A and B are shown apart, each in its own frame.
Chain A
Amino acid sequence: MSKTKELARHKRDRTWMWIQLLPVMLVLTVLFGGALVLGVAQSLGFAPWFGVNTFPDFSYFGALWGDSFFWRSLGLTLYYAIAATLISLVMGVLLALALVRSFPSKSLYKYLYKLPLMIPYTVGIALAVIMLGNGGMLSRLMAFAGFIDDPSQFPQILKTHMGWGIIAVYVWKQTPFVALTIYAVLLGVGRETEEAAAILGANKRQVFFQVTLPQILPGIISSTLIIFAFNIGAFEAPFILGGGFPDTLPVVAWRYFNDADYTLQLQGMATVVSIALVAGVILYSYLAFYRRYERRIGRH
């Protein structure tokens, strides 16, 4: 009697668990999984709604990867993403380290640094255009101060393949994100291990690299994963602030999708899948590398 009751309760619990999981499962499998499968299928020539169905057909990838512009685009995409991620990481960690120490008007700073997190990317891009463009605020100020004769002599920051504008917008937006994450981790870690290390005779550099850094590493890994994944797939900043052909891969994909020849959408899909592949391989190796480090110090 009690056994059947127990079994019934167990069954009820399981059913309830599945009901709770259902919404997430639906979103993941249908929206994400379905889109992924369709995207890959389309990049391999499956698009009957355009009257194209040559599945499986690797010619779209062949055409894309065979062209040198693709590799230059990939290089630019990676350059902007990696440079912005590294700069944001260093600045974010420094900011977080500063925030755990006490200094005058700290509460004001703690509010101010989060401001870019609340402002959309597009606004950031507009700000970059207003501030950094030729004829922008900075160039006019420089001309006004007499450093240059005319605003047009201001060095080209935006719309070059050096991508200063793109990187600046990413860094402006992502430094606070890194700082926020690392700050939370630092609060959890506390000051005591740093103090213990200092008492044992460690100088500031030794304290940071041997005591603080290993403890905040999980936060560094997760925040850089998130911003790098965003940067490699971001579209609007390179589209508006980039140097034109060759564009970054997301912009290339967008141009294919917007082409009058709608069959080029398959080429666009191949581009998107390529971005996903590159990002996946990089992020996976990054994580694998970190896991190996964790194992090496014996944490797992």
Chain B
Amino acid sequence: MTAVQLKGVRKDFGGFTAISNIDLDIRSGELVALLGPSGCGKTTTLRMIAGLEVPSDGQILFDGKDVSEVAVQKRNVGMVFQRYALFPHMTVEKNVAFGLKVRGTDKAEIEQRLEDILDVVQLQQFRHRFPAQLSGGQMQRVAIARTLITNPSVLMMDEPLANLDTKLRGEMRRFIRDLQQRLGITTIFVTHDQIEAMELADRVAVIFDGKLAQYDAPDALYKRPGSIDIADFMGATNVFEAMIRGKTATAPFGSLAFATDATDGPAHVMLRGEAIDLHLAEPPETQNQIRGRVSAREFFGANITYTVACGDAQIQVIEQSRRMVDLDQEVWLTIPPDRIWIIQN
């Protein structure tokens, strides 16, 4: 159980600045995602916490103690690499026991902990296999076991779900979540996929261009992004320019009442597609009513996305597939004021 803190961390590679300035507080036992597009510096941040890179400036603290200069071998962290980095010339057993062997743990204890951890990751029957003889999910479990057997104070994972197929993803997600909660180990993982970040993390740190853009719980990040870039990265589709006056936003397709706090002036209004109701007849409530015509329809199985043309604006509405609305049908959209988010500056 270790709290991790980054204070004004900066990293330059030659003339290139990968991280310009990051402050981050990770509570003990928390599961935090570092989210951002490729090249944003999230992997560099992870490598600095692990000790594989030394920050050019700033401090990394574990439980308040500065570890910036502590060598990687002595930092007692765990890392699961994106491509697992298993030792190809060792069996599962030897891979898993490696960390204890190099630390000179005595044989009986290695044997005991090896049995325990192989049970936890359910790899007993594969213990004599080589990495090349395992599936992606099994390799990842070996990588996790190899790390956890050393009782690291912080566990780090680089794109933990990226190399797995859809079915295995769900399985691994539950596995990692359960394990993390059972052991209560502070866990930091890197991803470029906002879904992966939201499905796993307690809190998500969004990193753009080497800077921390927003650090929040997944639902807050999804519903209340701090900037258009973040909204865009979190998959928001309905973002429109608007003029704010009091509690009313005037957008190209009409005026919307909203509940959140905002200052008067130009801004952007964000409507989450799943918060919009789609009516086939004019609804009785007149507040936040937008009239339009269905211009496109995409069927995703459980959901349908309708694109509704409201004047010049195209609003996307996500609905469960309980019905199919025809193209070109005249529709009325309504959205509750408390589901509207205003992005300013």
List the B side residues contacting A215 at CB < 8 Å: 88-89
A197 at the binding interface (Cβ < 8 Å): yes
A interface with B by C-beta (< 8 Å):
192-193, 195-203, 206, 210-211, 214-215, 297-299
Asked if residues B79 and A197 are in contact (CB atoms below 8 Å), the reply is no
CA distance A269 to B146 in the complex (A): 59
- CB-CB under 8 A from A196, the residues of chain B are 79, 81, 85-87, 146
Partner of B87, one of A193, A198, A298: A193
Q: Is the CB of A195 within 8 A of B85?
A: yes
Q: Shortest Cβ distance from A216 into chain B, in angstroms?
A: 11
Chain B residues packing against A (C-beta within 8 Å) = 50-52, 72-73, 75-79, 81, 83, 85-91, 98-99, 102-103, 128, 130, 146-147, 150
- Note all chain B residues with C-beta closer than 8 A to A192: 81, 83, 85
Give the distance to chain A from B40, nearest Cβ to Cβ, in Å.
21
User: Which of B73, B85, B128, B150 is within 8 Å of A203, CB to CB?
Assistant: B73
Q: A193-B85, A298-B91 given; name 19 further pairs at CB < 8 Å.
A: A192-B81, A195-B72, A196-B79, A198-B72, A199-B50, A199-B51, A199-B72, A199-B79, A200-B98, A200-B102, A200-B147, A200-B150, A201-B73, A201-B99, A201-B103, A202-B73, A202-B102, A214-B87, A215-B89
Contact present for B78 and A199 (CB under 8 Å): yes
Contacting residues, chain B, for A297 (C-beta < 8 A): 89-90
CB atoms of A203 and B102 under 8 A apart: yes
Shortest Cβ distance from A26 into chain B, in angstroms? Answer: 38
Contacts of A200 in B (CB 8 A): 98-99, 102, 146-147, 150
Query: Which residue of chain A has the shortest Cβ distance to B50 in the bound complex?
Result: A199
Contacts of B147 in A (CB 8 A): 199-200
Taken together as a complex, chains A and B put the C-alpha atoms of A198 and B147 apart, in Å, by: 12
- Residues of chain A contacted by B73 (CB below 8 angstroms): 198-199, 201-203
Q: Residue on B with the closest CB to A214? A: B89
Contacts of B51 in A (CB 8 A): 199
21 contacts between A and B (CB under 8 A): A193-B86, A195-B72, A195-B79, A195-B81, A196-B86, A197-B87, A197-B98, A197-B102, A198-B52, A198-B72, A199-B52, A199-B75, A200-B147, A201-B76, A201-B99, A201-B103, A202-B102, A203-B73, A206-B102, A297-B89, A299-B89
Smallest beta-carbon distance B237→chain A, Å: 37
> For A202, what are the chain B residues with a Cβ–Cβ distance below 8 Å?
73, 98, 102
Chain A, residue nearest B76 (CB): A201
Interface hub of B77, B85, B130 (most chain A Cβ within 10 A): B85
CB proximity of B273 to chain A, nearest CB, Å: 40
Q: Across the A-B interface, give the 3 residue pairs with the lowest CB-CB distance, nearest first.
A: A200-B99, A192-B85, A196-B85
Alpha-carbon distance between A214 and B88 when the two chains are bound, in angstroms: 9
Closest residue of chain B to A213 (Cβ to Cβ) is B89
> Please, which residues of chain B bring their CB within 8 A of the CB of A298?
91, 128, 130
Distance A202 CA – B50 CA, assembled complex (angstroms): 14
Write the nearest CB–CB distance from B157 to chain A, whole angstroms. Answer: 12
State A234–B135 Cα separation when bound (angstroms). Answer: 49
Kindly state the separation between the CA atoms of A299 and B130 in the bound complex, as whole angstroms: 8
- Whether A211 contacts B87 by the Cβ 8 Å rule is yes
**Chain A residue with Cβ nearest B147:** A200
Query: Is the CB–CB distance between A195 and B52 below 8 Å?
Result: yes
CA distance A203 to B130 in the complex (A): 24
Q: Write the nearest CB–CB distance from B97 to chain A, whole angstroms.
A: 10
Complex-state Cα separation, A197 to B97, whole angstroms: 11
> How far is it, in angstroms, between the C-alpha of A101 and the C-alpha of B157 when the chains are bound?
24
Q: How far is the CA of A297 from the CA of B95 in the complex (A)?
A: 13
| C-alpha spacing A197/B83, complex, angstroms | 14
Contact partners of B77 in chain A: CB under 8 A: 199
Q: What's the minimum C-beta distance from B156 to chain A, rounded to whole angstroms? A: 9
The residue in A201, A214, A215, A297 that gathers the most chain B C-beta atoms within 10 A of its C-beta is A201
* A193, B86: Cα distance in complex, Å: 6
Shortest A200–chain B CB gap in Å is 4
Find chain A residues with CB under 8 A from B50 CB: 199
Q: From residue B122, how far is it (CB to closest CB) to chain A in Å?
A: 21
Residues in B with CB closer than 8 Å to A211 are 87
B78 partner residues in chain A, CB cutoff 8 A: 199
B128: chain A residues within 8 A (beta carbon): 298
In whole angstroms, how far apart are the Cα atoms of A214 and B89 in the complex? 7
Inside 8 A of A299's CB, which chain B residues have their CB? 89, 130
Residues of A within 8 A of B79 (CB): 195-196, 199
Closest-CB distance, A18 to chain B (whole angstroms): 35
A190 to chain B, nearest CB (A): 8
Nearest A residue to B99, CB-CB: A200
B89: chain A residues within 8 A (beta carbon): 214-215, 297, 299
Q: How far is the CA of A210 from the CA of B85 in the complex (A)?
A: 14
Chain B residues positioned under 8 Å from A199 (CB to CB): 50-52, 72-73, 75, 77-79, 147
- The smallest C-beta distance from B87 to any residue of chain A, in angstroms, reads 6
* Shortest Cβ distance from residue B260 to the other chain A in the assembled complex, whole angstroms: 44
The distance from the CB of B139 to the nearest CB of chain A, in whole angstroms, is: 12
A148 to chain B, nearest CB (A): 47
By beta carbon, the residue of chain B nearest A203 is B73
